[in-house]
Amino acid sequence: MTAGKREVIVRAATELFLRQGYQATSTEQIAAAAAVSKQTVYSRFGDKESLFREIVLGVAATAEAFAADLTSSLADVSEKQEVAPVLRALARRYLAAVMDPQVLALRRLVIGEAARFPEVAAAYYDRSPARVLAALADGFGRLADVGLITVDDPRRAADDFAFLVLGRPLDHGMFHVPATAPSDAEIGATADHAVEVFLGCASRM
Amino acid sequence: MTAGKREVIVRAATELFLRQGYQATSTEQIAAAAAVSKQTVYSRFGDKESLFREIVLGVAATAEAFAADLTSSLADVSEKQEVAPVLRALARRYLAAVMDPQVLALRRLVIGEAARFPEVAAAYYDRSPARVLAALADGFGRLADVGLITVDDPRRAADDFAFLVLGRPLDHGMFHVPATAPSDAEIGATADHAVEVFLGCASRM
DNA sequence: GTCTATAGCAGGATAGAC
DNA sequence: GTCTATCCTGCTATAGAC
């Protein structure tokens, strides 16, 4: 069973990096947590930096799945449906996904190491937050084509929606460890309010 | 000139922490950059952690000044003025202030060390981002009292405004080192769009 | 109070037995 | 391929001269 060791090491290192950060995690800790020797870690990954790169970029696959989910749920909206309920449900899922403690920890990790690993941070951004925003822009573009919403610039619309939903909770969550996940009630209230403002239902003038 | 040394050390350490992070900065580097011996650093600050705490919480004073500026500019709006131009100008200043490379670096630093210094991260949040959001909510509450805007919940309105303005650029900026400050044109376009959505001028339905 | 020198230790990475 | 043992560097923090 020599093939699975790579996986075991990655899992152990991921957990330690997310909890303690890159620098505070030693290769010895990683080896111990994976129940292998340091030498095994080095023979598989070369050095600590390569292990870090592989982990961060590997985890980004989760975002791809979410983007696909999001795309399909916006593509399914027919002309007979109302958009508001669809957007409210989507906002709930989006907020819950991003406020997941593991996701928050990964964001903190990547941001904190952005000076040391600029290319990792940029790649993570493209594959995760930006990937979801692009899917959202795409979905809004289609809704606009069908005439279900009015949108000048789908990309700006996606930004507006995303940060109306995520802005405050995410900003708060980045600075608060351990992360306190919002309750379903809070998620619902924030999502509903965001959709209302996004659609311009309530003018403020 | 023994009194100024504390200041010199703080300045040197601030620059190094912001550029390299907490762990990657050694006390020896700090001493060298401040042109003093390590011993002097230790006699003034006790240890590296205390120095870090003092620096992060000290820098937060900038946010207080911005919050005051923001409060006064919203308090000055008379009933004869239109709010939109005031908000557009305010959004420009807000975005430019937050996208300052030093501010972004401080945010990255604090977020990256949030697991090791949770109380520092929480205190920073309260004194800086949350302080400004509170001032904004206050200002919107007054505008609503005078009848210049319609607002259910001033706090939610402040969040909406802030993240419509800052959301995307800030999210992007956290992951991109070296930070590329947005141009005046980009700032203007983002600010104007944010105000339009905030005020609900253009319904999307 | 400030410096030079150093203790004491932990980290990343490797050598060599099996 | 894997482990144990080890090298070397660099770190935080302190001791002791001045």
Reference A195, options A169, A145, A157; nearest CA is A157
Here the tokens at position A150 are 């009015």
Q: Residue A12: inside a domain, yes or no? A: yes
pLDDT average, residue stretch A49-74? 93
Distance to chain A for B157, nearest Cα, Å: 9
For residue B130, give Cα distances in angstroms to A60, A150, B67, B105, B119: 29, 33, 10, 18, 15
Beta strands in B119-186 (DSSP E): none
Q: Are B83 and B13 part of one and the same domain? A: no
Residues 9-48 of B, Cβ under 7 A from nucleic strand D: 25-29, 38-39, 42, 47-48
What is the reported pLDDT for A203? Answer: 87
Q: Residue A204: inside a domain, yes or no? A: no
pLDDT tens figures, B103-160: 999 999 999 999 999 999 999 999 999 999 999 999 999 999 999 999 999 999 999 9
Q: Are B113 and B161 part of one and the same domain? A: yes
Average pLDDT, chain A: 95
Q: Are A91 and A41 part of one and the same domain? A: no
- Looking up residue B109, the CATH number of its domain turns out to be 1.10.357.10
Cα–Cα distance for residue pair B117/B48, rounded to 1 Å: 12
What is the reported pLDDT for B201? Answer: 87
Q: Are A113 and A22 in contact, with CB atoms under 8 Å apart?
A: yes
Q: Are A10 and A99 part of one and the same domain? A: no
Average pLDDT, chain B: 95
Residue with tokens 């010199």: B8
Question: How far is C-alpha B175 from the chain's CA centre?
Answer: 16
Q: Residue A40: inside a domain, yes or no? A: yes
DSSP A26: -
Q: Residue A179: inside a domain, yes or no? A: yes
What is the reported pLDDT for B203? Answer: 87
Burial pattern B3-14, b for ≥16 Cβ within 10 A else e, equals eebeeebbebbb
Q: Are B25 and B64 part of one and the same domain? A: no
pLDDT tens for chain B, residues 1 to 205: 456 899 999 999 999 999 999 999 999 999 999 999 999 999 999 999 999 999 999 987 889 999 999 999 999 888 778 999 999 999 999 999 999 999 999 999 999 999 999 999 999 999 999 999 999 999 999 999 999 999 999 999 999 999 999 999 999 999 999 999 999 999 999 999 999 999 998 889 8
Range of the domain at B168: 60-199
Q: Are A145 and A75 part of one and the same domain? A: yes
Q: Are A49 and A126 part of one and the same domain? A: no
Which residues of A fall within a CB distance of 8 Å from B108? 111-112, 114-115
Here the tokens at position B98 are 């937050």
Q: Residue B204: inside a domain, yes or no? A: no
Number of structural domains (chain B) is: 2
Q: Residue A65: inside a domain, yes or no? A: yes
pLDDT average, residue stretch A188-205? 94
- Which residue, of A55, A73, A90, is where some domain finishes? A55
Cα–Cα distance for residue pair B87/A182, rounded to 1 Å: 30
